[in-house]
Amino acid sequence: MMEFQRVCVLGSTGSIGCSTLDVIARHPEKMNVYALTAHRSMQQLAEQVRVHQPTVVVVPTEQAATEFLTYLGQGVAKPEVRVGSHALAQTAADTEVTTVMAAIVGAACLEPALAAASAGKRILLANKEALITAGQVFIDAVKAGNAELIPIDSEHSAIYQCLPERIRRDVPSPADSTIRRLLITASGGPFRTWAPELLSAVTPEQACAHPNWSMGKKISVDSATMVNKGLEVIEAHWLFGMPADQIQVLVHPQSMIHSMVEYVDGSILAQLGQPDMRTPIAYGLGCAERIQSGVGLLELTSLGRLDFEEPDFQRFPCLKLAFDALRSSQAACITLNAANEVAVEHFLNRKIAYTDIVKVIAESIEKITALPSVVLNSLEAVLHLDQQAREQARSLCAVTV
Q: Can you spell out the DSSP letters for 338-396?
A: HHHHHHHHHHHTTSS-TTHHHHHHHHHHHHHHTSPP----SHHHHHHHHHHHHHHHHHH
User: What are the two backbone dihedrals, phi and then psi, of residue 180, each rounded to the nearest 5 degrees?
Assistant: -85, -50
Q: Which is nearer to ligand NAD, 104 or 236 (CB)?
A: 104
The conformation of residue 131, written as its DSSP 8-state character, comes to I
Please report how close the Cβ of residue 236 comes to ligand NAD at its closest, in angstroms: 13
Q: Identify which range of 75-83, 101-109, 141-149, 199-207 contacts ligand NAD by CB under 6 A.
A: 101-109
- What share of residues in the chain are helix, strand, coil (percent, to 5)? 50, 15, 35
The Cα 212–Cα 276 span in angstroms is 9
Q: Angle between the 110-118 and 379-400 helix axes, to the nearest 10 degrees?
A: 160
Query: Using the rule CB under 5 A, which residue among 153, 356, 363, 386 binds Mg ion?
Result: 153
Decide: is 139 part of the binding site for ligand NAD (CB under 6 A). Answer: no
Number of residues that bind ligand NAD (CB under 6 A): 24
Q: Which is nearer to ligand NAD, 204 or 216 (CB)?
A: 216
Site string for ligand NAD, 272-311 (x = CB under 6 A): -----x----------------------------------
Please report how close the Cβ of residue 368 comes to ligand NAD at its closest, in angstroms: 22
The Cα 392–Cα 388 span in angstroms is 6
Cα of first residue to Cα of last residue in the chain, in angstroms, is 57
Please report how close the Cβ of residue 304 comes to ligand NAD at its closest, in angstroms: 25
Q: What is the largest CA-CA distance in the chain?
A: 63
Nearest to 365 by CA among 400, 304, 401, 322: 322
Site string for Mg ion, 340-379 (x = CB under 5 A): ----------------------------------------
Please report how close the Cβ of residue 42 comes to Mg ion at its closest, in angstroms: 28
Please report how close the Cβ of residue 277 comes to ligand NAD at its closest, in angstroms: 5
Q: Which is nearer to ligand NAD, 15 or 185 (CB)?
A: 15
Which residue is nearest to Mg ion, using beta carbons?
153
Q: Angle between the 227-240 and 330-348 helix axes, to the nearest 10 degrees?
A: 150
- What residues does 261 pair with on adjacent strands? 182, 269
Query: Using the rule CB under 6 A, which residue among 7, 101, 105, 285 binds ligand NAD?
Result: 105
The Cα 141–Cα 146 span in angstroms is 8
By residue count, the chain amounts to: 401
Query: Using the rule CB under 6 A, which residue among 24, 38, 56, 376 binds ligand NAD?
Result: 38
Which one of Mg ion, ligand NAD, none interacts with residue 13, CB within 5 to 8 A by kind? ligand NAD
Please report how close the Cβ of residue 156 comes to Mg ion at its closest, in angstroms: 7
Query: Using the rule CB under 6 A, which residue among 11, 151, 188, 317 binds ligand NAD?
Result: 11
Site string for ligand NAD, 119-138 (x = CB under 6 A): -------xxx----------
Query: Using the rule CB under 6 A, which residue among 17, 151, 188, 284 binds ligand NAD?
Result: 17
Q: Which is nearer to ligand NAD, 122 or 128 (CB)?
A: 128
Please report how close the Cβ of residue 60 comes to ligand NAD at its closest, in angstroms: 6
By DSSP bridging, strand 148-151 and strand 122-125 are parallel
Please report how close the Cβ of residue 275 comes to ligand NAD at its closest, in angstroms: 9
The Cα 168–Cα 152 span in angstroms is 13
3-state secondary structure of 100: strand
Q: Which is nearer to ligand NAD, 72 or 363 (CB)?
A: 72
Q: Identify which range of 150-158, 179-187, 198-206, 256-264 contacts Mg ion by CB under 5 A.
A: 150-158
Burial-class residue 41 by CB neighbours within 10 Å (0-12, 13-18, 19+).
Answer: middle
- Distances, alpha carbon 39 to alpha carbons 35, 59, 64, 284, 303, in Å: 14, 6, 8, 24, 39
Residues that bind ligand NAD (CB under 6 A): 11-17, 38-40, 103-106, 108, 126-128, 153, 213, 215-216, 219, 277
Residues that bind Mg ion (CB under 5 A): 153-155
